[in-house]
A and B are shown apart, each in its own frame.
Chain A
Amino acid sequence: NAGVMQNPRHLVRRRGQEARLRCSPMKGHSHVYWYRQLPEEGLKFMVYLQKENIIDESGMPKERFSAEFPKEGPSILRIQQVVRGDSAAYFCASSWVGVTEAFFGQGTRLTVV
């Protein structure tokens, strides 16, 4: 699972700034999932993307959060106007088409000060 690369590993933002989290899936993977782990809580699904398509965003907060997975380049999770409650670890995972196994990245730890 070392093939799923997330950057940055740690990100500090002031309240009101934008946070951009990147996830490069394993080679050949066309499905990306984003998860959030709040302090002292378990992982929660946020969004599931295929190349150029959002398949399921039922776990995404309605405002300030967006995700994309362009044809070229990494998947991006964007959080606008961050607030302290956005502080969490954000993980992405990737998989092949139609395969149930997913590989996880190391996560990005976002701290909002």
Chain B
Amino acid sequence: KNEVEQSPQNLTAQEGEFITINCSYSVGISALHWLQQHPGGGIVSLFMLSSGKKKHGRLIATINIQEKHSSLHITASHPRDSAVYICAVRENTGNQFYFGTGTSLTVIP
């Protein structure tokens, strides 16, 4: 069983749609990260959360520590948002990060 589960694995949306990507985890954490990876590209850290909600532009990330769940929302999606979005958690008892397998998002014009 993976420590971090993401859904959906693949997502296709029309430009302008509201998008939600979900992440559930099974370990105690000190922080949760949402990362973005473009095809063949590097990894960009979008958010780091330990509680509540953060917003940056059209991106919103929320976390519910009790339910061990986080969501990444994209409002007014755009083709340039097409990428793989990865949820990663830092375990609070050690040094490891655990990663979800990613959600591949394609936004169609």
Which residues of A pack against B, CB within 8 Å?
1, 33, 35, 41-45, 48, 55-56, 58-59, 91, 93, 100-107, 109
Q: Which residues from A are CB-within-8-Å of B40?
A: 109
Name the distance in Å between A31's Cβ and chain B's nearest Cβ.
9
Task: Report the nearest B residue to A59, measured CB to CB.
Answer: B96
> Judging by beta carbons under 8 Å apart, are B44 and A104 in contact?
yes
Which residues of B pack against A, CB within 8 Å?
30-31, 33, 35, 40-45, 48, 50, 86, 88, 90, 94-102
**When A and B form their complex, what is the total count of cross-chain residue pairs whose Cβ atoms lie within 8 Å?**
59
Partner of A103 from the list B45, B86, B95 (CB cut-off 8 Å) is: B45
> Judging by beta carbons under 8 Å apart, are B86 and A45 in contact?
no
Known pairs A43-B86, A93-B97. 13 more at Cβ < 8 A? A35-B99, A43-B88, A43-B99, A44-B99, A45-B98, A100-B30, A100-B50, A101-B31, A101-B45, A102-B90, A104-B42, A105-B42, A107-B43
> Judging by beta carbons under 8 Å apart, are A33 and B97 in contact?
yes
The interface residues of chain A, by DSSP majority, are classed as strand
Q: Which residues from A are CB-within-8-Å of B96?
A: 45, 48, 56, 58-59
Task: Report the nearest A residue to B97, measured CB to CB.
Answer: A45
Tell me the complex Cα distance, A91–B45, Å.
13
Q: Which residues from B are CB-within-8-Å of A104?
A: 35, 42-45
Partner of A42 from the list B30, B31, B99 (CB cut-off 8 Å) is: B99
> Judging by beta carbons under 8 Å apart, are B48 and A91 in contact?
no
Q: Which residues from B are CB-within-8-Å of A44?
A: 99
Partner of B100 from the list A42, A58, A101, A103 (CB cut-off 8 Å) is: A42
Task: Report the nearest B residue to A6, measured CB to CB.
Answer: B42
Tell me the complex Cα distance, A42–B45, Å.
16
Tell me the complex Cα distance, A6–B27, Å.
30
Tell me the complex Cα distance, A105–B35, Å.
12
Task: Report the nearest A residue to B48, measured CB to CB.
Answer: A101
> Judging by beta carbons under 8 Å apart, are A100 and B86 in contact?
no
Q: Which residues from B are CB-within-8-Å of A101?
A: 31, 33, 45, 48
